[in-house]
């Protein structure tokens, strides 16, 4: 189970070309408000862009993005809190990691998530799936 006590922000974007840009802006502004932009902003925005782009490529319904910053007071002391990021879409099929060739224009998103995040995974929802990742908070 993923702990979601703490600050959260969530959005739903239509599956349209400007969803990636709008999601990047919303995530950056939220991280700025939470004073996490300088350390986590660029990486979080890059990974959200990759996952929203994947959703746009393969799904035809709304795309959900959610950020959760756990409450440090309630965090498990054995595991430092991290920034949880989720991208959901109505397509039930889990994403597939692949090894793109040097000339391929796509196929690197999940690899970026896998090598950048502290943890990541997918889960089925009542309608579709969620790809999530966790980044260590500054000082952790």
Task: Determine the pLDDT at residue 111.
Answer: 86
The pLDDT score that the predictor gives to residue 3 is: 41
98 has pLDDT over 80: no
Across 46-55, 59-68, 87-96, least confident range? 87-96
Mean pLDDT, to the nearest integer, of 23-50? 94
Please give the share of the chain, as a percent, with pLDDT higher than 90.
59
* Residue-wise DSSP of 63-81: EEEEEEEE-GGGS-TTS--
The tokens describing 134, both together, are 């966790």
Nearest to 80, CA basis, from 116, 42, 118: 118
């Amino acid at each position: 189970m993923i702990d979601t006590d703490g600050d959260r922000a969530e959005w739903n974007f239509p599956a349209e070309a400007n969803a990636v840009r709008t999601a990047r802006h919303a995530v950056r502004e939220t991280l700025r408000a939470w004073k996490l932009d300088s350390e986590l902003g660029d990486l979080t925005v890059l990974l959200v862009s990759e996952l929203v782009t994947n959703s746009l490529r393969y799904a035809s319904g709304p795309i959900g993005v959610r950020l959760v910053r756990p409450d440090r007071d309630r965090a498990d002391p054995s595991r430092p809190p991290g920034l949880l990021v989720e991208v959901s879409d109505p397509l039930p099929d889990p994403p597939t990691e692949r090894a793109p060739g040097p000339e391929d224009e796509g196929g690197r998103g999940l690899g970026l998530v896998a090598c950048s995040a502290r943890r990541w995974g997918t889960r089925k929802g009542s309608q579709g799936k969620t790809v999530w990742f966790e980044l260590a908070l500054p000082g952790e």
